[in-house]
Structure 1
Amino acid sequence: MLRWAFDTLDLNRVQSGTDTRDLASARVLEKLGFVREGTLREECVVAGEVSDTWVFGLLGREWRPAAGPLAAG
């Protein structure tokens, strides 16, 4: 998906957000090269509970495709 975003669509930036309590999702984004850029305080409601959101960004010039069979697709 990132290859398509940066190579085909020629995007400069891809952004994502995750609930601050969801550490596993934050780790996945960081492994993909995303940088945590900030916190949106009380940005969403999850199961009736107000929660903060971490915002992650990845710039095209920072992105490096992963090696291996999944990278070819």
Structure 2
Amino acid sequence: MTADVHTCTAEDTVEDVGEVMTLRRFRHVPVLTEGRLVGIVSIGDVVKSRLRVLEEDRAQLEAYIHGG
């Protein structure tokens, strides 16, 4: 746990939140809307999102290479 709690909003990108989590070594970041807690992002959520993007990019590249 940390006394220096860093929060994000629903408008923040996954990349931005992931960067903060990596730099500050946080595993969880509270999500606030109008000062109220609406969720928590975990490092697992960030990794899952990044993997999904990489898989989509790979599929698009394969389709381009195979002409489809």
Task: Normalising by structure 2, report the TM-score.
Answer: 0.36
The structure richer in helix per residue is: 2
Q: Which protein is bigger by CA-based radius of gyration?
A: 2
Give TM-score scaled by structure 1 length: 0.34
Structure ranking higher on relative contact order (CA contacts 8 Å, 6+ apart):
1
The answer to which structure has the higher strand fraction is 1
